[in-house]
Structure 1
Amino acid sequence: MLKHEPYLIFSLNDSSYGVEAVYVREVFFLPELIPIPEAIRDVVGVVNVRGEILPMIDLEMRFGQRAGEYKITDSVVVMEWGGYKAGIIVNQVYEVVELEAEQVTNEVFKGRKLSINTHNFIDRIAKIDDRIVMLINHKNIIDFYEKVDLPTADQIATSPNYEEIEKFVPHFRKFCPNATPEERTIFKERAASLMQQTDRQDFTGLIAVAVISLNEEFFAVDLELVREFTDLRKITPVPCTPPHIIGNMNLRGEIVTIVDIRGLLNLPRGRINKTSKAMIVHQDDVVAAIPVENVFDVIYLHPSQLMQIPVAIHSNNDEYLRGTAPYRDKIMMFLDLGKILSKGELVVNEEV
């Protein structure tokens, strides 16, 4: 292995993986997939990307695990090798890092190494800071499946709509059968956008944001400060703390404080229910879980799309907002999450 080999790092089911960046062609958020009955089980559908039909691979199923529910925050990493292209579905894409030879090994523990064979999907592991990252064998991921005759873009365009196709598809082949109508609309809009694009998007200067809701209002948050979204787990109350400190939660062995930011935004604090999600945010040495009602989408915003806060909704807490931006047919507030974390009095005063 050469020094400074670049790898794209992503997460899947609470584990970290890497794939050589040279084989990555693009990354986009998960769109609606069209199922192909003749494909093997882990090829879960196809998508039309600018007239090119790409098979989509469920890595969890390829690894022999049970597939989980897809989410609107999932992404697709498009890879190419040996003249073949395929997309792999992942939870979250992080960054490209350059790995040095001493960071990588195929030795699991002393004297025991990962076997190298034609069916191996993971052949090396790497240590990046405090993370263990499994490095994917790109050749086997793309090449280790029976090639099927994929439909052409014209065939897909003239075929019945997805709802008609879905009637004749086995349940395990259906795309996101439990998705809400709102989530299905988002998946469909992404698929339509990918099909209509004539060129790959230039992401220069764009800001990746998650669209969430608080008290049924839309807010955008910068994904650079968001580590993950998760279910709001069992809450352990913390005595003698301010009202915005809901309690603590155990996140895979890490104790994270749950902080309700609605008071900072002049929103009434309501009860946290079982359907609430936790947005795990971080800045420097501050890590917190912020309850949100829903996570609707992950989109890119251009700075030119940000507008000033309308006079009608000005408040004393505008310092925690970066502006507003359009979202579908509505307007959402863009939270200044960095300022909230640094100046939002999130740290519990020891004298309390």
Structure 2
Amino acid sequence: MSASLRELRGAAAIAGVATFGCGEAPGFTDMELLARAAAAAVADAGLKMSDIDGICTASASATMWAMPVIEYLGIRPNYIDSTMLGGSSFVAHLLPAIHALQSGQCNAVLVCYGSAQRSATFGRKEVVASRRFLDPQPYEMAYEPMLPLSAYALVASRYMHEFGATRRHLAEVAVAARGWARLNPEAFMRDPLTIEQVLESRMVSDPLSVRDCCMVSDGAGAYVLVRADRARDLQKKPVYVLGNGTAVWNRQVSSMHDLTVTAATQSGKAAYEMAGLTAKDVDVVELYDAFTINTLLFLEDLGFCKKGEAAAFVENGGIAPGGRLPVNTNGGGLSCVHPGMYGVFTIIESVRQLRGECGERQVRDAKIALAHGNGGTLSSQATAILGTQETL
């Protein structure tokens, strides 16, 4: 870790966050959802849209997404980042934005995402078809797998074979997420869920059942990043970026060197080193849980337990409310919201927890949060460590 990166620890803070349309938002387009969340996040920071001179955004439905977003919001930014790494993009956007802020290129960066994937006429099948055209994976597409689901099912099968985990362990992840969702008024799926119900639910790609998979929802999320000195003068309690790292090792799941080890080992190491912290220092964890196997892998790769031990770690409500580690406290992509790219929501929930704004699901005395994004088929990984004023 270079000295310059360590010097960026706490140099920027998230001053505003917002969501909009999470669950079902019929009648809204992707852009309209994004704009509502963006306006609310800017207002939450105590700023005006005219104060925004930097923007980070990405979308699975458009290759030049930043341009219509800028036009629609009516801003003229000096800093633009539309790097598309899948669902991890909005966590990966942090460090480049911090560099831009520190250089003086801009003063307030808006990171935003919106998708009407559940309600839109242009639905899931069309999105998958377009991805096959724009993002060919020749070694896999010839067999017409159910991607991304079948890729994660392959990983789950290998993990279960190698470490003796069972479908019951995967079910623990889904039930824990639902337990948190039941405490979150914004969560889309709040009905009770048991281990038995997960195990008995419809199988969609062995060993993953429908309850092992994230929902398909509408929704938008946004946050505003400013320099730390400015954040102290704004209306909400600042949440500081202590560390951030991004890593990509592969695009196709068939190109992974080890199906049980992800690039989160690299992104997490970089984030921890920049923050000067370890997993033991983290109070609350927000992981990209597109599938139940993700949570097991990321708990290990980010240092919360050793490789092969996550199954035991989550047993008996280990990551549920009242468990040993609060994980996905909003309900995650499994039960709260998942409009295609979930990463921005890991940041938003982390900020809300560190501000103490989470009501029944609030983690007591939370000072350090880890937010982790995943993109593609375990293809891109981005980790952020966030902290309150006391952690600087």
- TM-score above 0.5, yes or no: no
Answer 1 or 2: which has greater strand percent.
Answer: 1
Answer 1 or 2: which has greater helix percent.
Answer: 2
Structure having greater relative contact order (Cα 8 Å, sep ≥ 6): 2
Larger Rg: 1
Instruction: State the TM-score, normalizing by the size of structure 2.
Output: 0.20
